[in-house]
Amino acid sequence: MKLISGGVCAAKGFKAAGTYCGIRRNPNKKDLALIVSDVPANAAAVYTTNLVKGAPLTVTKAHIADGTARAVICNSGNANTCNADGIEIAEKMSALVGEALGISARDVIVASTGVIGQPLPIAPIAAGIPVLAAELSADGSDSACSAIMTTDTKLKSVAVEFELGGKTCHLGGIAKGSGMIHPNMATMLVFLTTDAAISAPMLQKALSGDIQKTFNMISVDGDTSTNDMVTILANGLAGNAEITGEGADFSAFMCALNTVNIQLCRMIAGDGEGATKLLECVVTGGRDETAAKTVARSVISSSLTKAAMFGEDANWGRVLCAIGYSGADVDVSRVGVVFHSAAGDVTVCENGAGVPFSEEKAAAVLHEKEIDILITLGDGTAEATAWGCDLTYDYVKINGDYRT
């Protein structure tokens, strides 16, 4: 397996485009994206667990109930959530894409992101979809990616090439996500595509299983949003024998999917609103996977730990505190903590107690842009990894006037 360029267009038969249609105030920011497969594709998706869900999620779930789709339409700047006509607007978006591409409206995945509770006008979208259809390109992944961004500061795109049954396959994706990011899905939209042949049930199994170790293990601010969704389309153009059950090919596919999703997780966490540092919490020695995951999530979500990382302060007591209130079955007397970065390692805790360390060395380690919080629990062999970011002054600035 190797990393390649191309994002959602890396796989054969996929094209994409992004444009500005007028939903957002700033004409320099694209606000409408389209991704299309040349042929019918199997489809799967996972959605936010928030009881308040955006209308696009309801429509998408109905559209891919048969396990197939051809296109994805997504707007930024408006979430189309908590609107009386939300379903109607989302269905109209699908119909407009169907008309422009000559496909069924029910073969369209719909997504929206932005301000909640603000009516979404259909007129700019109706004007923008024909533009997108005309501009669809195998080089359009970055254009589409830029159009789904809200407070993101960086494009989030990755793709891999891998082998299935002697056939070369590709899997890639784009994502948006910067704030309202928390386990059990967050304010992120992730669109994945692959030319591998895999049945819809196995595609859903792969996606549902992988998010438990990837997208459900990131947190920026503890807020789980209303519109987050991860979708994947598989059009089979790589020509491999279709994956219909467990086995070596399914394992290889899962490996490719996990590789892409981990990279997107790191990009989302590292681009958290106002963030200056990417945090990765690696927990080993857990009694079981549940305990390891619970600890990793708790530490990466701790506002006090995140603030300490921003201040480059090796306040390891905050890590122990987060472990203690996590609810995981942990013997605190066995816990060890190490801070790691490109500048080296500093051990700050062993067997649940502090150990002498150089504050100068710790400051140097925490000065780096990527910091690993390495925790050993000493209770077993289970492991888990979670991703997050530091908590900065700019987070409040960004969200203090987000709507206005």
Looking at the chain, the whole-number percentage of residues with pLDDT higher than 90 is 84
**Nearest-10 crossing angle of helices 289-301, 317-324:** 130
pLDDT at 60: 97
Please compute the mean of the pLDDT values over residues 87-108 and round it to a whole number: 98
pLDDT at 396: 79
For residue 394, give the H/E element and its range.
Answer: helix 393-400
Catalytic residue among 19, 113, 187, 226: 187
Please compute the mean of the pLDDT values over residues 75-103 and round it to a whole number: 96
CA–CA gap between residue 45 and residue 372 (Å, rounded): 30
pLDDT at 19: 98
User: Tens digit of pLDDT for each residue in 329-353?
Assistant: 999 999 999 999 999 999 999 999 9
pLDDT at 254: 98
DSSP string, 263-330: HHHHHHHHT-TT---EEEEEEEEESSHHHHHHHHHHHHH-HHHHHHHHTT---THHHHHHHHTS----
pLDDT at 231: 97
The yes-or-no verdict on residue 196 having pLDDT over 70 is: yes
For residue 181, give the H/E element and its range.
Answer: none
Give, in degrees to the nearest 5, the angle at Cα 201 between 200 and 207. 85
User: Tens digit of pLDDT for each residue in 61-81?
Assistant: 999 999 999 999 999 999 999
Q: 290: burial class by Cβ within 10 Å (0-12, 13-18, 19+)?
A: middle
DSSP 211: T
The yes-or-no verdict on residue 361 having pLDDT over 90 is: yes
pLDDT at 23: 96
pLDDT at 242: 98
pLDDT at 183: 59
The yes-or-no verdict on residue 225 having pLDDT over 70 is: no
- Length in residues, the chain: 404
Cα-flanking dihedrals φ and ψ of residue 171, to 5°?
-145, 125
Give the confidence band of 191 by pLDDT, cuts at 50, 70, 90.
very high
Q: How far is CA 272 from CA 143, 186, 188, in A?
A: 21, 12, 11
pLDDT at 298: 95
Find how far residue 181's CA is from the centre of its chain.
9
Please compute the mean of the pLDDT values over residues 298-308 and round it to a whole number: 94
User: What are the structural domains, with CATH classification, of the chain?
Assistant: 2-270 (3.60.70.12), 278-400 (3.10.20.340)
Amino acid at 116: I
Contact 182, 50 (CB under 8 A): no
pLDDT at 178: 64
**Nearest-10 crossing angle of helices 289-301, 303-310:** 60
User: Tens digit of pLDDT for each residue in 135-189?
Assistant: 999 999 999 999 999 888 899 999 999 999 999 999 999 999 765 555 565 458 9
Instruction: Let me know if 187 is a catalytic residue.
Output: yes
pLDDT at 3: 97
Nearest to 267 by CA among 385, 182, 153, 344: 153
User: Tens digit of pLDDT for each residue in 37-60?
Assistant: 999 999 999 998 878 888 999 999
Please compute the mean of the pLDDT values over residues 283-303 and round it to a whole number: 96
Q: What are residue 16's DSSP bridge partners? A: 35, 137
Compute the mean pLDDT over every residue in the chain, rounded to the nearest whole number: 93
